[in-house]
Chain A
Amino acid sequence: MEKFSSLQLSRRQLIGAAVTLPFAGSLARAADSSLTFDELYGKFGVLGLEFSDKVKTLAGKDISMKGFMAPPLKAEAQFFVLTEVPMSLCPFCSSDADWPDNIVVVYLGEKQTFVQPSQTIEVRGILEYGSWQDPETGFVSLLRIRQAEYSSV
């Protein structure tokens, strides 16, 4: 697993770099509470989707999730969108493109270098659900990972 360089090492990375044992412990915890795109919703429907019990149980906790980084909204954004498959469309390049139904918005604890959208990444951070509008961009999300960091897998 290769770490991507960041402008500033996060606290979690610092601990990981300085003390091997706690970092391994943190990884093990992350693995216990991994979430997949298939596990996001308990019910699909025209009148709305319903988050799964697993999402509700893990809310507020540290989780890990694998996916792909969609092309960032803007270069300096503190967040990106995690998708199940590599994004074939840039939702902001063409007005008839739209986001897929199952996305997770990732707010980084610290800025990190963006990676190739075809690269599978693992995101770790605190899971949060419910409608929230990004004050800077107006982007509305229903599922987020906050204080996140990621690495390629």
Chain B
Amino acid sequence: MRMLLAAFAATTILAGPAQAASIYPLDRATILAGSPFDFKVELSKQVKPEDVKITVNGQDYKTALGGEAQFIELEKGKEDKALGSALLLRGLKISAPGAYKVEIAAGDETKSVTWNVYDTAAQPKAKNIIFLLGDGLSVAHRTAARIMSKGMTEGKANGRLNMDDLERMAFIGTSATNAVATDSANTMSAYMTGHKTAVNAIGVYADRTPDSLDDPRVETFAEAVRRMTKKSVGIVATAEVEDATPAAVVAHTRNRGDKADVVGMLLDVKPEVLLGGGSAYFLGKEVAGSKRKDNQDYIKLFQDAGYKLATDKNELAANASAEGNLLGLFHTGNMDVTLDREFLKKGTVDKFPNQPGLVDMTKVALDRLSKNPEGFFLMVEGSSIDKMSHPLDWDRAVVDTIEFDKAIGVAREFQKAHPDTLIVVTGDHTHGVSIIGTVDDEKPGTEMREKVGTYAEAGFPNYKDENGDGYPDKIDVSRRLFLSANNGPDHYETFRPKLEGPFVPAIQNEKKEYVANEQYKDVPGAVFVQGNLPKTSESGVHAVDDVVLQSAGPGAEGFHGYMEQSDVYRVLADTFALGAKQTN
């Protein structure tokens, strides 16, 4: 055994240098025919250009790909660390579908990858696509939303969510190129480009150089729609519009935190409708509330580009059926969640009292985009399901799931009148959360954990919706759903909804460790829950579990079984025939 290990180690060491090069796109990349992408080769050593040989399917790459890469003698890392030579060919296009085996040899370094270039149907299947993404949407969120919104009698749901009736389904794998776990940037990027990428990256492969804006790019869905069709593009989110999910519709950066740059990228693509929060990154640095480091006034730049501006619910309504492009910004940061905005008036609702919700924004977006006789692509994000799941604030996350489902209802109504519309509903990743029963205040004693009911003791929760608005009239009912996280930092479990404002489970101490927030220590019945994540974790984390995708309309038949999120792009591209020269 020891000899075997030694032999294995020796092989690994010998194989090491020969495997050090990287090629982007990565091995097994799937590429839409005709879609521009950047081709990059990173070598681990500094070499001369004449020592590098690159072939594609056995042919010299210049002939096979029809372009010559720029030779970079030496790339440098942080503190000028020498990284090796590189070759970069930007904006490459391959129009013929098939397998492309790319082989490189430079001194003792060799590497080979195979790309699969695919084309699409010759004719579009649908005129419009509405892509609705519940950020962090897990199975527990939807089950809880159904029970909280519709109720349950003798084990059968008293009603159905809109998402419950989307007939075509798939399980979606969400892992990143550099980790089994994922974040909203790289997974939405995979949906929106057909290429998987690394955590925090959007519209690029993550290369080794420190600059986050120079990484090899791939085309986004909005860019492909622009290139191949005359359709309109819409982006709606309750997060900042430059946050990872909305950004991934158009943007290219290794670092989702480049929000000021993303605003510029949004202006480059000019979605006809852009609604959400995040005005802080549109304001020059002299303006109080700005988060820019320059004095660019992007509000003015958008207006100069022909956009009408809406800053609250009334201005949005007034713009509902107007002509031209629409920029709606309703908060300097992320918009308040439904529970705070509509019911508790907590969070920052006192500062931004007239914010529209996801339903209002989706309606206006559909009204305006549907004026284009060529059709449209609309992305709608229920952003705060995730933003409230990180701090384990399950009530806020579930109420936002109900709102997200109402936006799906708006899309379904549109689809009834416009059957040439594909609707896709999915999440970008899940959270480690499940419903395990109820918390019943009527159970005896003062210890809250003794009031947790599991199995037969759980009974059913007693939420009511007497005004029929789809939301429970109150969330702090006497017998509530009990959602529990399987991961998190040290925190106090209070077994109660957080009526005073979003939950803050842990805060950082001077050793940069997250410790339980003592604000909740004296809530009657609160128990200390020891974290199971490193002490650097401030909140619960995304789960690696598959996401459920559901779909209806022409093109939906493409979704079945298990798919990677990058495969979803192919179905979208096929639905709009983006890989074929369209006749109209």
Contacts and interface: CB of A to CB of B under 8 A. Distances in A.
B523 to A, nearest CB: 17
B150 interface: no
Contacts of B288: 41, 48-51, 129, 142-143
A15 interface: no
Given A88-B507, A96-B256, A101 B289 contact: yes
Nearest to A118: B507
Nearest to B489: A88
B257 interface: yes
Contacts of B331: 46
Contacts of A45: 289, 311
A140 B293 contact: yes
A93 interface: yes
A87 B508 contact: yes
Given A44-B351, A93-B538, A101-B289, A87 B330 contact: no
B283 A48 contact: yes
A94 B312 CA distance: 30
Main secondary structure of the interface of A (DSSP, over half): loop
Interface string B512-523: 100101100000
Interface string A107-149: 0000000111110000000000111010000101011000000
B299 interface: yes
A95 B256 contact: yes
Given A46-B352, A48-B283, A88 B509 contact: no
A67 interface: no
Interface string B278-319: 011001011111111100000100000000000110000000
A87 B184 contact: no
Interface string A71-97: 100000000000001111110011111
Nearest to A138: B293
Contacts of A94: 538
B432 interface: no
Given A45-B311, A88-B506, A90-B538, A118 B329 contact: no
A101 B280 contact: yes
Given A71-B512, A96-B256, A46 B507 contact: no
B192 interface: no
B283 A96 contact: no
A98 B290 CA distance: 13
Looking at A71, A88, A98, A118, the one whose CB has the most chain B CB atoms below 10 A away is A88
B19 interface: no
Contacts of B312: 46
B57 interface: no
Contacts, number: 108
Looking at B257, B289, B518, the one whose CB has the most chain A CB atoms below 10 A away is B289
A46 B290 contact: no
A2 B474 CA distance: 44
A20 B287 CA distance: 42
B112 interface: no
Main secondary structure of the interface of B (DSSP, over half): loop
Contacts of A49: 287-289, 332
Contacts of A118: 507, 509, 515, 517-518
Contact of B329 (A46, A97, A129, A140): A46
Given A46-B311, A47-B283, A140-B285, A85 B536 contact: no
A114 B286 CA distance: 30
Give the interface size bracket for B toward A: 35 or more
Give the interface size bracket for A toward B: 35 or more
Contacts of B183: 96
A152 to B, nearest CB: 12
Contacts of A143: 288
Contacts of A47: 279, 283, 287, 299, 311
Contact of A117 (B286, B287, B507, B539): B507
B209 to A, nearest CB: 17
A82 to B, nearest CB: 15
B282 to A, nearest CB: 9
Contacts of A131: 285-286, 290
B510 interface: yes
Contacts of A129: 288
Contacts of A114: 510
Contacts of B434: none
B200 A95 contact: yes
B391 interface: yes
Given A46-B329, A51-B288, A94-B538, 8 more contacts: A46-B279, A47-B311, A86-B507, A88-B391, A88-B538, A99-B291, A118-B509, A140-B292
Interface of A: 41, 44-51, 71, 85-90, 93-99, 101, 114-118, 129-131, 133, 138, 140, 142-143
9 contacts: A47-B311, A86-B504, A88-B505, A90-B512, A96-B257, A101-B332, A101-B351, A117-B508, A131-B290
Interface of B: 183-185, 200, 243-244, 255-257, 279-280, 283, 285-293, 299, 311-312, 329-333, 348, 351-352, 391, 504-510, 512, 515, 517-518, 536, 538-539
Question: Which 10 pairs from chain A and chain B are nearest by CB?
Answer: A49-B289, A44-B351, A95-B257, A48-B287, A46-B311, A49-B288, A86-B507, A88-B504, A46-B279, A131-B285
